[in-house]
Amino acid sequence: MQAPGSGEFRFPDKYLSRSLELEKALAQTPEVLAWGKRLHVTGMLSSEKDSMGVLLCGVEPEKEKLITTLAGYVEQGEYLGRESNGLYLGVRLAEQLGLKVGSEAVVLSAASDGSMGAERFKVSGLYRTGSTTFDAQLAYVHLRGLQDLLVREGGFNNLVIRLKDPERALEVREQLGSRLRSLPVRVLAWSDIDRELVAIRRYQDALLAIVLGVVFAIVALGVVDTMMMSMFERIREFGLLMAMGARPSFIVRLILLEAGLLCLLGAALGLAAGAALIGWYGHRGLALPLKDAVNYFMPFDAVLRLKFDWPRHLQALGAVLATSLVGGLVPALKAARMRPSESLRHL
């Protein structure tokens, strides 16, 4: 959540108000797992060695643990505690400034009264996410300490929410937006802010759609080829059935049934092999070659652990079955149109 008209989503320049009403609404939303206040501002981090511009992120340490995995990336020292002057830095930023656990650094940023705020902070811990953006540009401090620096008691410009089911983010956004429409707040989903990740996901979905299209085309051609061979080998059999009174619709149903059974047998074998692979890579993990490229923008686990998603598996099974039936329709109609006399003379 951010104040309306805050400009850039990642760097809101307006503060939220009426926090009690906002938090009450979140507490009454069953889809919400946790939430916490944040204060994002740009500033300067200065040490005896050097000074650098950084993005200062003031957080509520205990609540932040429930929202993100930030506390799990500690490499040296410890995560932010109760002290308001704690400083939690990425290892690359600390190296550039010559800082280590226990060192002191001066944080500077424009205060709300127009002056230049400056406070000494003590490095409590260093983290390593593997992301250049995070490790070299972000500095985390206690929300209360940053509020004191900016002379902005109780001020925050983000109210970050974690849902029980991230897939329902758009639904919850609309729900909260409707409930809070009388308050000065705009509700955003993660897709509104992480445009790069959305673009990557759309590109991935497009590639997957192409691959699946090719796979289903191969399945359909395989079914057509198999059923056509079976039909030509059994032309006399079909002719005899039609001579005995079988209707063309019976021949069509017979061939489609065979195509469906063939598909189910192949699907059973495929599901068994797929389940074995998912179980194996779910335990051992699958190394991703694009780790460094993706990690530049965000923390990204280089090892992908697969898991079962039965609704999607069943959807894929249904799609394969439908493709097989469509593929079997071609030889079925061809067999149904044959004349019994011609079929019985076939060698």
Mean pLDDT of 205-216: 88
Report pLDDT for 197: 76
Name beta bridge partners: 88: 125, 140
Lowest-pLDDT range of 130-139, 187-196, 263-272, 282-291 = 282-291
Name beta bridge partners: 45: 52, 107
DSSP string, 257-302: HHHHHHHHHHHHHHHHHHHHHHHHHHHH-EE-TTHHHHHTTS---S
Lowest-pLDDT range of 171-175, 203-207, 328-332 = 328-332
Query: Could you report the per-residue pLDDT of 247-287, keeping only the tens digit for each?
Result: 888 888 888 888 888 888 888 888 888 889 888 888 887 77
Q: Torsions phi, psi of 139, nearest 5?
A: -125, 125
Q: Please calculate the CA angle 173-12-81 and round it to the nearest 5 degrees.
A: 90
| Cβ–Cβ under 8 Å, residues 149 and 106 | no
Domain ranges for the chain: 19-190, 197-344
Q: Which residues touch 143 (CB under 8 Å, ≥6 apart)? A: 37, 38, 39, 58, 59, 60, 156
pLDDT at 29 over 80: yes
Average pLDDT of the chain, as a whole number: 85
Kindly report the length of the chain. Answer: 347
pLDDT at 329 over 80: yes
Which element (helix H / strand E) includes 54? strand 51-59
Residue among 60, 62, 61 nearest 154 (CA) = 60
Distance CA 158, CA 12 (A): 8
More confident call, 172 vs 306: 172
Q: How many CB atoms lie within 10 A of CB 200?
A: 14
Query: Could you report the per-residue pLDDT of 237-247, keeping only the tens digit for each?
Result: 777 887 888 88
Report pLDDT for 122: 94
Distance CA 103, CA 125 (A): 10
